[in-house]
Amino acid sequence: MIIEPVINGVVARTAHPLGCEESVLRQINYVKHAKPITLGPKRVLIIGGSSGFGLAARIALAFGGSKSDTISVSFERGPSEKGVGTAGYYNNIFFKKYAEAEGRIAVNIHGDAFSKECKAEVVEAIETYFEGEVDLVIYSVAAGVRPNSETGEMLRTAIKPTGESVSGAIISLEDDTWHEVTLTPATEQESEDTIKIMGGEDWENWVDALINVESIANGCKTIAFSYVGPEITHPIYLDGTLGRAKIDLHQTSHSLNLKLANFGGGAYATVCKALVTKASVFIPGLSPYLIALYKVMKAQGKHEGCIEQMQRLFSDKLYGNQRIPVDFERLIRMDDWELDASTQQEVSALLDQMNSDNFKQLGDYQGFKKAFMQLNGFGYESIDYTQPFNLEDFIPEESD
Ligand code: NAI
């Protein structure tokens, strides 16, 4: 079949396997030529390793100097009569192909990270492939839903402000249009549900499960990703439901740090840069900021994607250092370049002028859209998208 891009609003409904392979290969190529990770972890578990920061972390660790073996958990869909499947599904397949070709262990586990069954399956994989222990646990889940463990009822992430309504713009990637929206404040229940899904609880459950089965190696570290952003984004992010969840995650990092200290290790919330991913384009009001940020950081020569962020995290901050550099709240800051005063001054001047008529000229909308298309395997010049592609070989088996 010929696979064409189908976008509904900010959601990609199709993905191209060849483009996903290209995306994985480009990231591998980047880390092979970047500053290498020294004294890195050998056995890594990534929860949410099929796209965005989790996939980039997996690639950086496997190919960027430390030659790590990896087990990754993700929630993706393969091809079926319902559709071609998700980009993350193909990313998993191609990561495994290239990692194994270089002698790495690369295990993909498909499942719901929040469930006990998935945790049990991972513990078994750690026994089988890692001789029972992990050296690093990365928590990189961005989820819209989570079943309530007691009732089974589905909880949903609500991306909303708290306290007061907030106005902002959404940019539809389907037809490149700008829409002003006003978001009403979240109810207490919506805030709580969002904290349950995007806060620290499940991260802690994972680490507890690994401690219980004695799978934490001496010196084991764990990280989870957060976002803070400049003041202009606070009404929708830091002061909203997602920000409350992230603050919960920061607090969890402290309790996990105490637990892992018993093993000579540590836990860190890692604040990353705002980037186009499957998850971030969902956040109303963030897209104008992203296109202004991309424009300014590219012009300043400081733009990074997920892979650059992750390689810098592991080579400069988390490994090879006597002490891990953290701020006064014990956060690792990978958003240091984003929040640089000169960058933020230019971004905010640009945002002041940006509107529905000029956003494509003033902001880096082309770069934003290209990044989104490439996340889903489209928009690579090297690929002839007019050629039919056979999905037969990619139909999911019971396990891979
Ligand atoms: P993403 O959408 O690219 O990746 C999310 C991952 O979570 C995927 O591997 C997906 O399969 C997995 N996942 C979702 N639900 C799952 C479930 N129930 N069970 C197992 N796996 C599941 O998202 P992105 O942006 O890489 O987000 C990862 C983390 O980074 C999130 O905590 C996010 O808040 C944080 N972050 C993102 C920033 C951004 O601008 N994109 C900035 C700073 C932090």
List CB contacts of 123: < 8 A, sequence separation 6 or more. 209, 210, 213, 215
Q: Are 268 and 326 in contact (CB under 8 A)?
A: yes
CA 29 to centroid of ligand 1, rounded, Å: 23
Q: What is the DSSP string of 153-210?
A: PEEE-----SSS-EEEEEEETTTTEEEEEEEPPPPHHHHHHHHHHHSSHHHHHHHHHH
Split the chain (400 residues) into runs of 10 and give each run's mean pLDDT.
Answer: 94 96 98 98 98 98 98 96 94 98 98 96 98 98 90 92 92 94 95 97 98 98 98 95 98 98 98 93 89 98 98 97 94 98 98 96 97 97 95 74
DSSP 313: I
Check residue 118 and give its pLDDT: 97
**Atom 27 of ligand 1: nearest residue by CA position:** 142
pLDDT at 398: 55
Q: Is 317 helix (H, G, I), strand (E, B) or coil?
A: helix
pLDDT at 82: 87
The pLDDT of residue 399 is 47
* Bridge pairing between strands 134-139 and 69-74: unpaired
**Residue with tokens 């972890």, as numbered in its chain:** 41
Which of the 8 DSSP states describes residue 135? E
Q: Which residues pair with 365 in a beta bridge?
A: none
Pocket of ligand 1 (CB under 6 A): 48-54, 73-76, 88, 112-114, 140-143, 225-227, 272, 274-275, 277-280
Give me ligand 1 centre to Cα 143, in Å.
7
Three-state DSSP state, 354: coil
Q: Pick from 71, 140, 228 the residue to mutate for probing ligand 1's pocket: most ligand atoms within 8 Å of its CB.
A: 140
Least Cα distance to 164 among 182, 180, 181, 184 occurs for 184
- pLDDT for 81: 87
The mean predicted confidence, pLDDT, of the chain is: 96
Domain boundaries in the chain? 7-143+195-282+304-336+374-394
Per residue in 382-399, pLDDT (tens digit) is 999 999 999 988 988 754
- Classified as helix, coil or strand, 221 is strand
pTM higher than 0.75, yes or no? yes
Classify 344 as helix, strand or coil: helix
Helix axes 188-198, 241-261, angle to 10 degrees: 40
- Per residue in 8-64, pLDDT (tens digit) is 999 999 999 999 999 999 999 999 999 999 999 999 999 999 999 999 999 999 999
Vertex 377, ends 374 and 379: CA angle to 5°?
55
Q: How far is CA 97 from each of CA 102, 124, 218, 305, 397, rounded to the nearest angstrom?
A: 9, 22, 30, 23, 16
Superfamily of domain 7-143+195-282+304-336+374-394: NAD(P)-binding Rossmann-like Domain (3.40.50.720)
Q: How many CA atoms lie within 13 A of 367 on its CB side?
A: 20
Report which residue type is found at 382: S
Q: Residues 71, 122: contact at Cβ < 8 Å?
A: yes
**Residue 220 token pair:** 């084991």
Instruction: Give yes or no for a contact between 374 and 18, defined as CB atoms under 8 angstroms apart.
Output: no
- Beta-ladder partners of 170: 179
